[in-house]
Structure 1
Amino acid sequence: MTKQERADYVRNRLGQLYPAPPVPLDHTDAFTLLVAVLLSAQCTDIRVNQVTPALFRLGSTPAALAAAPLDQIEAIVRPCGLGPQKAKAIKELSRILVDEHQSQVPASLEALERLPGVGHKTAQVVMAQAFGIPSFPVDTHIHRLAQRWGLTDGRSVIQTERDLKRLFPEESWNKLHLQIIFYGREFCTARGCDGTVCEICRTCYAKRRNPVSTKKA
């Protein structure tokens, strides 16, 4: 298979397996999604979904969380790890949204990336899932699988994003990044597959016999 043939196979197969992938993080609007994605850094989506109900009872709008005591925010988000940093970022970005964006999450990658605690991947998730703007957020699952499937050399997350955007049609990006994540969690895990075990790895590289060493995100 050529690289493009592998990409086409991946897109078609994932479309069969996950025709309508849900957003894994529970949210009700762009703001609650932004906060949930921020909390998901170095934390599982399951844990974030366990924590956010209490956080959003404390405040589910920028004005409410900007006004909430920092120690109360930190006490709630502590199970997600990096509690002090994440609590401070949530409170400060909430204040900025109130002061500079009329309490609205901006539909701008550049504006999102200027918010405290919001990196490139977080901003892209919000662009894709809150606003429907074509984006390709690359997490650890996508970075690992793209290397196993020969779609990138994995030298950086940014390079993986560029490579995937070149290989897949823009209209598929928002759904496809979720599909790859679900497949990576279910079939092509970090320990459960080494590039020779799962269906897609075996199909893309039928003659591969040796494990694939992937670069971390």
Structure 2
Amino acid sequence: MKKADVVDFYARLAADNPHPETELAYGNAYQLVVAVALSAQSTDIGVNKATRLLFETVKTPAQMVALGEDGLKQHIKTIGLFNTKAKNVIALSERLIAQYGGEVPADRAALETLPGVGRKTANVVMNVAFGAETFAVDTHIFRVGNRTGLARGKTPLAVELKLDKATPQPFRLHAHHWLILHGRYVCKARTPECWRCNVADLCAFKPKTPAPKLRAKQET
């Protein structure tokens, strides 16, 4: 995608949603770390349902450790891989207490040392909690980056690095939210809804998906 088109691409997404936010519910940086860690291979809606009651009483690593792994499982058992995730959340909480005084470090490398926290999770926390210009590449951003031609790469890291290089100001802070939401609701995995996409003319994906009624006529 040409530089001028990249600016236009982001400008249109920004015009539709000037202040995008994560769809995960959280009250502080610690709860955000937990929510993002739980969201792996799960939907934000599912995580929010599981953490609604949990986050009413558990707001710090110490409170999570006091709840314990079995207690946590009772809250998150509707989420995929909940056994492993519960173990990781307790472990990362213990490490935050032991190494960081119970505070979430504003450092990506430090975040990545926490159990269950990979680069994507660390990037989300750095961006949402601390305002860093990071690009958290999940399946949606990986798809949108490759499909549109905005940032093509064979791995999430390759796409992240290309996004970092290609994305100009003033779009860097909110870029990953715009791309996630676009992939989640418009540029969907199975059938991208090109007929209602406001950046379709800038996108490299072909052939464009027609509107449902027109597609039905074409198939008859």
TM-score w.r.t. length of structure 2: 0.88
Q: In terms of mean alpha carbon deviation, does 50-59 or 81-90 score higher? A: 50-59
Q: In terms of mean alpha carbon deviation, does 79-88 or 149-158 score higher? A: 149-158
Unpaired runs of 5+ in structure 1?
A: 212-217
Contact 2:140 2:180 (8 Å CA) reproduced: yes
Q: Please give the residue correspondences for 1:1-217 in structure 2 after superposition, counting only pairs within 5 Å.
A: 2-169=1-168, 171-193=170-192, 197-200=195-198, 202-205=200-203, 208-209=206-207
Flag the 1:170–1:210 CA change in 2: closer, same or farther, 3 A: closer
Contact 1:148 1:201 (8 Å CA) reproduced: no
Residue 54 of structure 1: how far off its partner (Å): 2.2
Flag the 1:18–1:210 CA change in 2: closer, same or farther, 3 A: closer
Residue 172 of structure 1: how far off its partner (Å): 2.4
Q: For 1:207 and 1:46, how far apart are their aligned partners in 2?
A: 29
Secondary structure of 1:81's partner? coil
TM-score w.r.t. length of structure 1: 0.89
Residue 174 of structure 1: how far off its partner (Å): 2.6
Residue 201 of structure 1: how far off its partner (Å): 5.6
Contact 2:148 2:205 (8 Å CA) reproduced: no
Contact 1:58 1:68 (8 Å CA) reproduced: no
Contact 1:6 1:149 (8 Å CA) reproduced: no
Residue 209 of structure 1: how far off its partner (Å): 3.0
Residue 153 of structure 1: how far off its partner (Å): 2.6
Q: For 2:204 and 2:158, how far apart are their aligned partners in 1?
A: 26
Q: For 1:117 and 1:105, how far apart are their aligned partners in 2?
A: 14
The residue aligned with 1:215 is: none
> Structure 1 counterpart of 2:207, which letter?
R
Question: Structure 1 vs Structure 2: percent identity of aligned residues?
Answer: 37
Question: What do the CA deviations read for 1:149-176 (whole angstroms, capped 9, x no partner)?
Answer: 1123331110101111111125522311
Q: For 1:207 and 1:45, how far apart are their aligned partners in 2?
A: 27
Contact 2:28 2:59 (8 Å CA) reproduced: no
RMSD of aligned alpha carbons: 2.0
Secondary structure of 2:191's partner? coil
Secondary structure of 2:172's partner? helix
Q: For 1:36 and 1:144, how far apart are their aligned partners in 2?
A: 23
Residue 39 of structure 1: how far off its partner (Å): 0.6
Contact 2:12 2:199 (8 Å CA) reproduced: no
> Structure 2 counterpart of 1:109, which letter?
R
Residue 110 of structure 1: how far off its partner (Å): 0.7
